[in-house]
């Protein structure tokens, strides 16, 4: 577990250092919600900045942490202002053990975003082997 957290923190530091437009600001670098799958195959997390009730800048950080034939994926999972759950598209990593990737984007929803978390999966072929959810980040505009 410690190895997975170290890999995720290294990827997080890389994401913060990139300074890509639309990415969370450096002040958000300490704001990380993450999880690791119970089979040890994947770790993922997010950094974020809230822009408004309806928008957030987010970096999705994913690491493949097991030498197996599986690949890993991550997606943003939100609760809207109407209380509904909404999931964004999967981001996939097929580069094998020790690889990591960061995607930066702006997430929006017309009904608002009350909270956000990530879902991470370790996948064999087309079948999820293990999944986890990070803790939730709550929108400061609510």
Structural domain spans, the chain: 2-138
Contacts of 96 (CB under 8 A, 6+ apart): 64, 67
Task: Tell me the mean pLDDT per 10 residues along the chain, length 142.
Answer: 49 44 51 96 98 98 97 98 98 98 98 98 98 98 96
pLDDT at 24: 61
Would you identify the CATH topology of the domain 2-138? Immunoglobulin-like (2.60.40)
Are 53 and 78 spatial neighbours (Cβ–Cβ below 8 Å)? no
pLDDT at 31: 83
pLDDT at 62: 98
Helices (H) and strands (E) in the chain, counts: 1, 10
pTM over 0.75: yes
pLDDT at 30: 54
Bridging pattern class, strands 32-36 and 42-52: antiparallel
């Amino acid at each position: 577990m410690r190895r997975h957290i170290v890999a995720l923190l290294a990827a997080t530091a890389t994401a913060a250092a990139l300074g890509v437009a639309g990415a969370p600001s450096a002040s958000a670098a300490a704001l990380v919600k993450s999880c690791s799958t119970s089979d040890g195959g994947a770790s993922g997390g997010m950094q974020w900045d809230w822009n408004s009730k309806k928008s957030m800048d987010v970096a999705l950080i994913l690491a493949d942490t097991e030498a197996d034939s599986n690949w890993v994926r991550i997606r943003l999972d939100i609760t809207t202002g109407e209380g509904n759950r909404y999931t964004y598209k999967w981001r996939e990593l097929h580069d094998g053990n020790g690889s990591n990737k960061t995607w930066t984007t702006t997430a929006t929803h017309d009904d608002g975003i009350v909270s956000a978390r990530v879902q991470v999966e370790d996948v064999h072929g087309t079948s999820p082997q293990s999944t986890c959810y990070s803790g939730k980040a709550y929108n400061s505009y609510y």
